[in-house]
Amino acid sequence: MPKTTHTFTHAQLTAERARYTGEPLWAAQHGIRRKDVGLDECDQQQLRLRALLALRLLNTEMAPHHCIEPGDPRTRAWRDVRGLLANTLTYSPRYNDFAILTYMPGHLAKTLDGFPGIRVDGVTSGKYPALQLRHLPTNSIISFRYVSHTLRGKLPASCHPVILSCKEVLLRPDRELTAREYDDLAAAPHMTSDVQILLSGLLARMRLAHPDKKWAVRELIWGRENRPDQDAGSFTYCWGTGDEWVVRWGGRSSVPATDVAQALTDPFAGVEGATARHFGSDRCEVRLGSARLRLEHRDVERGWEYDQLGMRP
């Protein structure tokens, strides 16, 4: 969908972006690029990083058997990085930096320990320091910045570096990939450039909500009221190859597929050029160029995970 941001001033873009993302204004302004909302502004290496992170984030440890693609060859679960879906953080994508705002940056950075190739880069200097992580295969950055929990991020918050780096020693500081990391990286399926844009775009919008409550992504399984799903059977699943990909999710508080499709094609905050087809509230398809991303909300029986483990209570 074409963007409608060309008539906005920088201040107006910043304010409107913050209404969608939940960022404080001081953070939103750093993401604005010229006349663009800035959620997808990055080079090819950062794009690859975001797409790979989306692939990890969108796969829970388990998914119902009937939701798994026949061509998915994985024989073991990937290490979980879903701590990045905590309600104590805000995504603040900016040029060549997937920035995350939280009042406990050191703790949440540790959740990326399972992301192959991620290493601690250190704490940046300046007025608002960040705990910076580097993804070795793409040489790209993910950063964690501190915001005050009590002030709800309304004011820029400087903090002592110890708040940022208190747990960085638990992340690998070396610059060599392990054998398992090589294997995990090789197991990632081929993604075309357009698919990478759609997956990285979904990652950047995982906490996006329309200012007038027309739709909300809410990490797919939190529901519009921003309540955590108390049903342990909630799941997300993502797989594909080339231009054809699917994201499936389910659970008691899951959002409809139409909400996710609208986020990706919104006139203000959507992915430029993306279009959507709707097949009811539970099934949509978003296209960009030759790429197709199917979005499917699935109803699942409560306790399905116990059945698969042979542990039905």
Helices vs. strands in the chain: H and E counts, helices first: 9, 10
**6-34, pLDDT tens digit by residue?**
688 999 999 999 999 999 998 999 999 87
Pick the range with the lowest mean pLDDT from 99-113, 135-149, 162-176, 181-195.
Answer: 162-176
CA angle 238, 296, 246 (to 5 degrees): 35
Q: Residue 280 burial (CB < 10 Å; 0-12/13-18/19+)? A: exposed
Strands, E, within 216-269: which ranges? Answer: 235-241, 244-250
Which residue ranges make up each domain of the chain?
45-74+189-313
From the list 59, 27, 33, the residue with the least C-alpha distance to 46 is 33
Residue 222: the pLDDT is 78
pTM exceeds 0.85, yes or no = yes
- Residue 127 pLDDT: 72
Q: Are 155 and 23 in contact (CB under 8 A)?
A: no
Confidence check: pLDDT of 5 > 90: no
Contact 172, 26 (CB under 8 A): no
Report the C-alpha dihedral over residues 116, 90, 54, 36, rounded to 10 degrees: -120
**126-142, pLDDT tens digit by residue?**
777 888 999 999 999 99
Contact 34, 6 (CB under 8 A): no
pLDDT in tens, 245-281: 999 999 878 899 999 999 999 999 999 999 999 998 8
Question: Which region among 154-158, 195-199, 243-247, 264-268 has the lowest average model confidence (pLDDT)?
Answer: 154-158
Which pLDDT does position 258 carry in this prediction?
A: 96
Q: Which residues contact 191 (CB under 8 A, 6 or more apart)?
A: 51, 199, 240, 241, 242, 245
